[in-house]
């Protein structure tokens, strides 16, 4: 057995598995589909409506959607870290109510700040509950959402809390260079959160916590702390969004922002952030928010029956989730098979003689 009769390996060195690493167009479309859809709709609206591409309309659109965009920044961190926050709609309402109540009797600026801090505290409560008792965050925040909403109703007694102080309305109404302050806040928050996620080590921890919690923990990442902080941030964002909205209408209302939590999650998912955690980006959620906003805007501008709007929205969410499904569903497999058949000449070899 000195000599071996192995088939002569005439293959080149085996160090590299020798394979070009070109991304397939389909995979690219899946990853950047939101950009394509966003641009397509933007173009379509520009061509079909003379009002769409005016600074007036676009700035309105941004200002109207600044609160939901701000909440989406917080929500994206929560979802990437492997959680869900269903209480943001209630926090939004409660923060607005608290700010309005305090402003009626005290300094309006302090009242607004307290509104944000209240959101932060409520978020911290969410995060602590989820981490300390390791409960499913979907259920935990569903429950706290009811509680927060109930507290808001008790505080207001069910009535609208009006504020007649100019300073209170500044946050939602004031403009700088003809652009609403709320848009600057939204933009600043999106940029900061985006940089946080992609450029800081704490951003990496967020991805790690949602990607594989046990692996993250064994790498020394304090997973519970990371998750708690994402909920705290999400609460603060909801509080900020809530006071901006309250400021805009100069009043607080217990049922403000009802259902907003679902709109936030929809925007995040449409953007392409994985609901399973561990993957996603802020710019995706921003595009998601603005895509939904443009659909509504399009219905307005083109005077289409608004009853169809939710149908279109729901369909787009479904398409987003289908595009995101990374597993090979039966349809994907059938497509692959069909392609393969087409690619192969009909040279099916017979069985061996």
Partner 1 sequence: MSSAPASTPSAIVRVEGVGRRFAGIKALEGVTLEIERGSIHGLVGENGAGKSTLGKIIAGVIAPSEGQLLVDGEPVDYRDPGDAIADGIVSVQQEIALVPKRTALENVFLGIEPTRFGLVDTAATRARYAELQESSGFSIDPDAVVGGLRVADQQKVEVLRALARNARLLVMDEPTAALTPDETESLLEVARTLRARGVTIVFVSHFLEEVLALTDTVTVLRNGRLVQTSASAEQTPERLVEAMLGRSLEQTFPERRPIVEPDRVVLGARDLRRGKALRGVSLEIRAGEILGVAGLVGSGRTELARALFGADLLDSGTIELEGKPLTATSPRNAVDAGIALVPEDRKGQGLLMGRSVRENVGLAHLGELSSGPFLSPRKAGLIDALLDRLEVPGHRRDVAAQLLSGGNQQKVLFAKWLVNTPLLLLADEPTRGVDIGAKRAIYELIGDLAASGVAVLLISSELEEVLGLAHRVVVMRRGEIVTDLPIAEASEDRVMRAAFGSPPADEPRDGGAP
Q: Which of residues 106-165 bind partner 1 (CB under 8 A)?
A: none
Location of structure tokens 């207001």: 156
Angle in degrees, CA 255, 298, 172, rounded to 5: 40
Q: Is 52 in the site for partner 1 (CB under 8 A)?
A: no
The three-class DSSP label of residue 252 is: strand
Candidates 219, 314, 321, 325: give the one binding partner 1 (CB under 8 A): 219
Q: Is 337 in the site for partner 1 (CB under 8 A)?
A: yes
Candidates 105, 327, 342, 344: give the one binding partner 1 (CB under 8 A): 344
Q: Is 342 in the site for partner 1 (CB under 8 A)?
A: no
User: In terms of CB distance, is 14 or 178 closer to partner 1?
Assistant: 14
Tell me how far CA of residue 220 lies from CA of 78, 81, 209, in angstroms. 20, 16, 11
d(CA 35, CA 42): 10
> What is the widest separation between alpha-carbon atoms in the chain?
98
Q: Is 221 in the site for partner 1 (CB under 8 A)?
A: yes
Specify whether the backbone of 222 is left (phi greater than 0), alpha (psi in -120 to 50) or beta: beta
DSSP 8-state secondary structure symbol assigned to residue 344: S
Buried b (16+ CB within 10 A) or exposed e, 19-40: eeeeeeeeeeebeebbeebbee
Q: Is 15 in the site for partner 1 (CB under 8 A)?
A: yes
* Binding map of partner 1 across residues 253-292, x = CB under 8 A, - = no contact: -------------------------xx-------------
User: In terms of CB distance, is 218 or 321 closer to partner 1?
Assistant: 218
The three-class DSSP label of residue 297 is: helix
Nearest distance, CB of residue 9 and partner 1, angstroms = 5
Q: Is 2 in the site for partner 1 (CB under 8 A)?
A: no
Beta bridge partners of 180: 175
Nearest distance, CB of residue 212 and partner 1, angstroms = 5
User: In terms of CB distance, is 106 or 329 closer to partner 1?
Assistant: 329
Q: Is 25 in the site for partner 1 (CB under 8 A)?
A: no
Q: Is 346 in the site for partner 1 (CB under 8 A)?
A: no
Nearest distance, CB of residue 77 and partner 1, angstroms = 15
Candidates 50, 55, 327, 340: give the one binding partner 1 (CB under 8 A): 340
d(CA 283, CA 300): 26
Q: Which long-range contacts (CB under 8 A, 24 or more apart) does 152-155 make?
A: 152/90, 152/93, 152/94, 152/97, 152/254, 152/255, 153/254, 153/255, 155/94, 155/97, 155/98, 155/101, 155/254
Q: Is 330 in the site for partner 1 (CB under 8 A)?
A: yes
Q: Where does this chain touch partner 1 (CB under 8 A) — which range of 6-14, 80-88, 89-97, 291-299?
A: 6-14
Q: Where does this chain touch partner 1 (CB under 8 A) — which range of 11-19, 65-73, 93-101, 124-132?
A: 11-19
Angle in degrees, CA 32, 37, 41, rounded to 5: 150
Candidates 50, 56, 220, 305: give the one binding partner 1 (CB under 8 A): 220
d(CA 91, CA 87): 6
* Binding map of partner 1 across residues 188-207, x = CB under 8 A, - = no contact: -----------xxxx-xx-x
User: In terms of CB distance, is 57 or 332 closer to partner 1?
Assistant: 332
List residues near partner 1 by CB under 8 A: 1, 4, 6-7, 9, 11, 14-24, 27, 199-202, 204-205, 207-208, 211-212, 214-222, 278-279, 330, 333-334, 336-337, 340, 343-344, 348-352
């Amino acid at each position: 057995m000195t000599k071996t009769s192995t088939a002569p390996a005439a293959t080149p060195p085996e160090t590299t598995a020798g394979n070009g690493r070109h991304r397939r167009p389909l995979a690219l479309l899946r990853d950047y589909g939101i950009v394509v859809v966003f641009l397509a709709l933007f173009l379509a609206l520009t061509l079909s409506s003379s009002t769409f591409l005016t600074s007036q309309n676009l700035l309105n659109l941004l200002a109207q959607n600044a609160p939901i965009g701000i909440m989406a920044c917080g929500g994206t961190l929560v979802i990437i870290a492997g959680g869900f926050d269903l209480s943001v709609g209630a926090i939004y309402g409660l923060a607005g109510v608290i700010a309005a109540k305090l402003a009626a009797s005290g300094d309006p600026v302090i009242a607004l700040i307290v509104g944000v801090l209240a959101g932060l505290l409520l978020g911290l409560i969410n995060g602590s509950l989820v981490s300390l008792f390791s409960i499913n965050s979907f259920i935990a925040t569903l429950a706290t959402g009811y509680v927060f909403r109930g507290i808001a109703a008790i505080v207001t007694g069910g009535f609208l809390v009006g504020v007649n102080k100019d300073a209170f309305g500044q946050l939602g109404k004031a403009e700088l260079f003809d652009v609403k302050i709320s848009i600057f806040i939204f933009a600043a928050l999106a940029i900061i959160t985006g940089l946080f996620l992609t450029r800081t080590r704490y951003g990496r921890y967020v991805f790690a916590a949602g990607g594989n919690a046990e692996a993250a923990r064994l790498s020394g990442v304090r997973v519970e702390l990371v998750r708690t902080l994402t909920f705290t941030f999400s609460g603060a964002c909801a509080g900020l969004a809530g006071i901006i909205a309250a400021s805009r209408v100069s009043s607080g209302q217990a049922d403000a922002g009802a259902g907003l939590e679902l709109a936030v999650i929809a925007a995040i998912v449409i953007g392409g952030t994985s609901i399973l955690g561990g993957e996603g980006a802020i710019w995706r959620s921003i595009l998601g928010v603005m895509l939904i906003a443009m659909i509504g805007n399009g219905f307005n501008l083109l005077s289409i029956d608004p009853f169809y709007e939710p149908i279109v929205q729901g369909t787009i969410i479904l398409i987003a989730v289908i595009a995101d499904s990374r597993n090979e569903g039966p349809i994907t497999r059938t497509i692959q098979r069909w392609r393969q058949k087409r690619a192969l000449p009909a040279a099916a070899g017979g069985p061996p003689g």
